[in-house]
A = this chain, B = another copy of it.
Amino acid sequence: MARIKTDKNISRKDVIVTKAAILFREKGFKAASMRDLAESVGVEAASLYNHIKSKTELLHELCFSVANRFMHQIDAIEAEQISSIEKVEKLLKFHINEMIHHYEEVYVSDREWKHLADPYLSNFQNQRRIYRKRFAAIIETGIRNKEIKKIDAPTAVLIMLHAISGIESWHRSTQKISATELEENMITILVGGLVHK
């Protein structure tokens, strides 16, 4: 009888959630079946239900664990006593590193949240909207301080966030530059596009 392998401190549920992230990223939430997931975990489909409540629960788990990390990070950065540009840069670096090191989760949370069911859906959308508002507020402060060009802050946020989701292509590409180089290049271009003069 196949058994899900676990190390200490990693529950069988965690194993399933992690595998689910990989699968949802590859195929999309709807196209990934519980039988696919079962196979990648090494078990029959029905057995998964000893550990999880439903397929959608897996999506909740992924989306909100990511959302929470980002919320905590922006809390911390807002509180720091540094210039707006530095705040933006710190935030971008966090996004970039999340996208590099927790690729599957972050990607899924970014692209597949549409398939959440209410009330999770509205909740997630709210958090997202608030996050973007707070990001935009940082930029607006920077504009008032003349650290940042006179631009539309929400548009800038939208560019930053989506540009970073492009790291997906980096992951897929065969001849990757190093992670550090990637980070440096992205910061150069994105922050370079903001700074006044």
Contacts and interface: CB of A to CB of B under 8 A. Distances in A.
Q: Tell me the dominant secondary structure on chain A's binding face.
A: helix
Contacts of A31: 30, 115
Interface in A115-171: 115, 149, 151-152, 154-156, 158-159, 161-170
A161 B168 CA distance: 12
Contact of A156 (B151, B167, B189): B189
Scoring A173, A188, A193 by chain B CB atoms within 10 A of each residue's CB, the highest score goes to A193
How often does this chain occur in the complex, in copies? 2
Contacts of A192: 149, 192-194
Interface in A14-31: 27-28, 30-31
B114 A28 contact: yes
B166 A161 contact: yes
B162 A177 contact: no
Interface of A: 27-28, 30-31, 111, 114-115, 149, 151-152, 154-156, 158-159, 161-170, 173, 177, 181-182, 185-186, 188-194
Closest 9 CB pairs of A and B: A193-B193, A162-B166, A30-B30, A189-B193, A158-B166, A192-B193, A155-B185, A163-B163, A159-B163
10 contacts: A28-B28, A149-B192, A151-B185, A152-B177, A159-B190, A163-B163, A163-B166, A189-B194, A192-B193, A193-B194
